Amino acid sequence: MKRVLYALQFKGSAASTDASGTTLNVTAKATSTSIKTSVFPDGLNGKVESEAGAEARFESTVSMKNEGAFDEHGTISFGADNRLRFVTVGQGQVQPSGEEGISVGAVIWRVDGGDGVFAGAAGFITSNFWFNTANEVTDNQFGVIEMK
């Protein structure tokens, strides 16, 4: 079994697919990245920097529930024909942030197989995200993928 870790920052948008606004389609892209975190006696600093490499694509369907809870399923493509499929573990949560017009949230996804190099893959992905009133989404993902 091979274990692969990834950390990417996806940027894209969410669009409502129904009149009630309870179902959303999210699409986003991520370039290859380097994430740096520095811990200091007086706090923390983190940044995301682009690196040379290909682009990853994210597509999902979000079903909003009561009080900020949601379910989500979708795919993440890493190059030609290499896709992970995922579904929500439990429920995700979204809420207003302390900044006007910004909402924040988090969700855990279970890897539900995939295609290409991800055929038979398993694992988990965490997503911490924010979006604004223009439905622009920034999604920070960390995945631990087990591949055969």
The tens digit of pLDDT for each residue in 121-141 reads 999 999 999 999 999 999 999
Query: pLDDT at residue 146 above 90?
Result: yes
Report d(CA 21, CA 49) in Å as an integer: 34
* Chain centroid, CA 118 distance in Å: 17
- pTM assigned to the model: 0.93
**Region 55-75: what's the mean pLDDT?**
96
CA–CA gap between residue 38 and residue 58 (Å, rounded): 28
Q: Is the pLDDT of residue 21 over 90?
A: no
Reported confidence tier of residue 66, pLDDT bands at 50, 70, 90: very high
Query: Residue 45's beta-bridge partner residues?
Result: 38
User: Model confidence at 41, in pLDDT bands (50, 70, 90)?
Assistant: very high
Across residues 15-36, what is the average pLDDT? 92
Q: Over range 26-38, report the average pLDDT.
A: 94
